[in-house]
Amino acid sequence: MTIKQSRPPFDASTIPGGLCPIATHLTTMLPGDWRAERPIVDRDSCVKCATCWMYCPVQCITEHAAWFEADLRVCKGCGICATECPHRAIVMLEETK
Amino acid sequence: MITAKTIVCDGNEAAAWGAVLSRPDMVAVYPITPQSSLAEYLSQFIADGILDAELLDVEGEHSVLSVLHGAALAGARTYTATCGQGLAFMFEPYFRTPPLRLPIVTSLVTRDGITPQCVWGGQQDAMTVKDVGWVHMYCETVQEVLDTLIMAYRIAEHRQVMLPVNVNHDGNYLSYGVCRMELPGQAEVDAFLGPKDINWHVALDPDRPMAVDPLTGGAGGPGPALFVSYRKGLCDGMQHALRVIEEVHDEWALRFGRRWAPLVEEYKLDDADFAIVTIGSMTGAAKDAVDQARARGERVGLIKVKTFRPFPIEAMVRAVSKVEALGVVDRAVSFGWNSGPLHQEVLGALYYGRRPIPAISFIGGLAGADLTVGHFRRVIEQTAAARWTGPGQAPIWLNEND
Ligand code: SF4
Ligand code: SF4
């Protein structure tokens, strides 16, 4: 996935290396790249109450026709949604690869 | 516009005048004894329009330095002052200031460490934070406090340094000691300091979008090498500072006619057989004691450390190579070595200079105790004897029987 910066990156070439930790280019890594567990929504149990949507700290819950689920590129696997879901519709599954 | 004149003031007022003449854009201070009157002088100068700076009344020293981080990142020249428990509370942003390469100047009105409960001078606070990358310069007189404070901005903002600087003056003895002081004119100080350029290398600036202090390090990828490059860069900045401190003191002497030893002062050392080593305001009484011993025919000299960080190894090696024994007087305790912190530095310099001569650790002046000519007479006697007996293992506590 490519990300566009809203302003052109600042040219840091005049600043000596090793002076001060700064970064001028966006990393393309997303929280999903280091997730250890993924939330799986049971579509039959989900009632679209949006509790998970409210609690998700990275705001990655997306709405679908009859259920809500996480955008797995962004989901960091914290499991807050699974704990908060009043219908126990979310289970956390270990990432295997 | 401030014109050059002679005034009478104490060390806290001298530091405040030094700040005024350096024209900081932002000042944040939280009062703490024995720095409090410095904070009051600054507030008064700002209220009276003598200093045109933002004054931030924040809730504690952690916030003091944190807001100054933001100000420096936005390009402001900044100033604060603290000591003792205030410095302890400031430590978290204090620790981050050098690797962020922010040229913030801060007076430490040195105070002994709690506990036991005490509000008096001592250098335990400054010595405790000596190794996180701030430049530390210790002043001997009220005039030197003012002069060093202004010089500190030139040193901190030098492109090859870009480091925060502590200008340290002894609580009680310098903070409240009143004497004559030459106040330089604003125009001359402006010409000396030149234009400021605080955030050319790291900035909070929408026109130069950058992430400040992103996650760096770890065990893989570019992390380890990148982390090392910043650590080495900070060490390089400290080593450059040694040269810059000397250059700036030279230029100060040329422009203002007052020459201060920038790193290490040698007093009556060239023909000395042995010497005492001092730091800060105790040096005045120590020099008097040296003069008296000289009058009695004893070949004693004195080595005073002004710049403690970065430690001036070469200058110290040059100085200690002239004598056969040393008595090192500390106003702080190194609990880890059962001696004084300056004593440990001197032992390090002796190793570098391949001179395993006797060096005794004396500790005195803790928690406001006075270090008198009489105390230094004892230091001189015992150091003279150490040439034949060698140093004892334990420190000698100068105020133990006062
Ligand atoms: S909290 Fe549970 S029930 Fe509610 S929308 Fe999310 S997954 Fe569905
Ligand atoms: S696991 Fe955490 S990050 Fe992922 S969807 Fe649930 S709340 Fe959001």
pLDDT-derived band at A10 (thresholds 50, 70, 90) equals confident
For ligand 1, is residue A88 a contact (CB within 6 Å)? Answer: no
Give yes or no: residues B245 and B325 share one domain.
no
**What gap in Å lies between CA B278 and CA B298, rounded to an integer?**
18
Burial class (CB in 10 A: 0-12, 13-18, 19+), A59: exposed
Give the pLDDT confidence score for residue A2 in this predicted structure: 58
- In B82-91, which positions are buried (b, 16+ CB within 10 angstroms) versus exposed (e)? bbbbbbbbbe
**What gap in Å lies between CA B245 and CA B222, rounded to an integer?**
34
Residues of A with CB under 8 A from a CB of B: 5, 7, 9-10, 12, 15-24
Give yes or no: residues B183 and B277 share one domain.
no
Residues from chain B contacting residue A33 (CB–CB below 8 Å): none
For ligand 2, is residue A46 a contact (CB within 6 Å)? Answer: no
CA distance B225 to chain A (A): 10
Give yes or no: residues B285 and B366 share one domain.
yes
Burial class (CB in 10 A: 0-12, 13-18, 19+), B51: buried
User: Is residue B212 within 8 Å of A22, Cβ to Cβ?
Assistant: yes
Give the pLDDT confidence score for residue B89 in this predicted structure: 98
User: Is residue B320 within 8 Å of B264, Cβ to Cβ?
Assistant: no
Cβ distance of A24 and B101 shorter than 8 Å? no
- In B363-385, which positions are buried (b, 16+ CB within 10 angstroms) versus exposed (e)? bbbbbbbbbbeebbbbbbebbbe
Cβ distance of B233 and A24 shorter than 8 Å? no
Pick from B59-63, B214-218, B396-400: least confident: B214-218
Residue B232 lies in a domain: no
Q: B201 CB near a chain A CB, below 8 Å?
A: yes
For ligand 2, is residue A79 a contact (CB within 6 Å)? Answer: yes
Angle at the Cα of B241 from the Cα atoms of B80 and B343, rounded to 5 degrees:
85
pLDDT-derived band at A4 (thresholds 50, 70, 90) equals low
Find the CATH number of the domain harbouring B169: 3.40.50.970
| Model confidence pLDDT, tens digit, residues B345-358 | 999 999 999 999 99
| Model confidence pLDDT, tens digit, residues B192-250 | 999 999 999 999 998 888 999 998 999 988 899 999 999 999 999 999 999 999 999 99
Candidates B201, B207, B212, B235: best to mutate against A (most CBs of A within 10 A) is B201
With a pLDDT cut of 90, the percent of chain B lying above it is: 95
Label the pairing between strands A61-63 and B274-279.
Answer: unpaired
Partner-chain residue, chosen from B210, B232, B237, that has the shortest CB–CB distance to A10: B210
| The total number of structural domains that make up chain A | 1
Cβ distance of A22 and B202 shorter than 8 Å? yes
CA distance A90 to chain B (A): 32
ipTM: 0.81
pLDDT-derived band at B88 (thresholds 50, 70, 90) equals very high
Give the pLDDT confidence score for residue A6 in this predicted structure: 65
Find the CATH number of the domain harbouring A73: 3.30.70.20
With a pLDDT cut of 70, the percent of chain B lying above it is: 100
What stretch of H or E contains A78?
A: none
User: Is residue B161 within 8 Å of B150, Cβ to Cβ?
Assistant: no
**What gap in Å lies between CA B213 and CA B222, rounded to an integer?**
15
Give yes or no: residues B317 and B244 share one domain.
no
CA distance B157 to chain A (A): 13
Record the tokens describing residue B230, joined without a space. 């910043």
Residue-number span of the structural domain to which B324 is assigned: 265-397
Residue A1 pLDDT > 60: no
For ligand 2, is residue A74 a contact (CB within 6 Å)? Answer: no
Q: What one-character-per-residue DSSP string does B344-393 give? A: HHHHHHHHHTT----EEEEE--GGG----HHHHHHHHHHHHHHHHH---S
Residue-number span of the structural domain to which A49 is assigned: 2-94
For the entire predicted model, the pTM comes to 0.89
Cβ distance of A20 and B202 shorter than 8 Å? yes
Please name the residue whose Cα sits nearest to atom 4 of ligand 1: A49
CA Rg value for chain A = 18
| The total number of structural domains that make up chain B | 2
Residue B23 pLDDT > 70: yes
Residue B323 lies in a domain: yes
Cis amide prior to B310 (ω within 30 degrees):
yes
What mean pLDDT value characterizes chain A? 90
